[in-house]
């Protein structure tokens, strides 16, 4: 199953902090640090127990984790690259819907 399809299937799911960490194979503290660095949520509630995440959040955090691991990128740089990849995906979708080739 592709990451995009997995994210779409999970979009309606509300993942807890612990579930998100498990889905990314990281410690909860790693997720908390990324949320606090504003690479995942803009304005989360103060209490991490109240945080809720979507399938798109899971996909984004997996991408950030991979960038940090594979390229030794800091969280902010990994988030910027994730932003660019997500924007490319949106643009490709728009081109495809317009009937234009995305090769």
Cα R_g (the chain), whole angstroms: 14
Which long-range contacts (C-beta less than 8 Å, at least 24 apart) are formed by 24-32? 24/58, 24/61, 24/62, 24/65, 25/65, 26/65, 30/65, 31/61
Q: Is 103 a domain residue? A: no
Exposed, middle or buried, 43 (CB in 10 Å: 0-12/13-18/19+)? exposed
Q: Is 102 a domain residue? A: no
CA distance 15 to 12: 9
Which pLDDT does position 101 carry in this prediction?
73
Give pTM, 2 decimals.
Answer: 0.83
Number of domains the chain contains: 1
pLDDT tens digits, one per residue of 46-99: 899 899 998 889 999 999 999 999 999 999 999 999 999 999 999 998 999 999
Residue 35: give its domain's CATH number. Answer: 1.10.1660
Which pLDDT does position 43 carry in this prediction?
77
Domain span including residue 45:
3-97
Q: Which tokens is 17 given?
A: 């902090």
Q: Is 10 a domain residue? A: yes
Which pLDDT does position 3 carry in this prediction?
62
pLDDT tens digits, one per residue of 1-28: 566 666 556 667 789 999 999 999 999 9
Q: Is 85 a domain residue? A: yes
Q: Is 43 a domain residue? A: yes
Which pLDDT does position 58 carry in this prediction?
92
Which pLDDT does position 56 carry in this prediction?
87
């Amino acid at each position: 199953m592709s990451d995009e399809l997995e994210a779409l299937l999970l979009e309606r799911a509300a993942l807890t902090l612990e579930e998100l960490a498990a889905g990314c194979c990281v410690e909860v503290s790693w997720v908390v640090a990324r949320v606090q660095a504003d690479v995942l949520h803009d304005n989360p509630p103060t209490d991490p127990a109240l945080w809720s995440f979507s399938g798109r959040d899971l996909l984004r955090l997996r991408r950030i984790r991979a960038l940090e691991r594979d390229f030794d990128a800091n969280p902010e740089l990994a988030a910027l690259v994730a932003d660019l990849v997500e924007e490319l995906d949106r643009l490709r979708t728009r081109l495809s819907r317009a009937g234009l080739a995305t090769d």
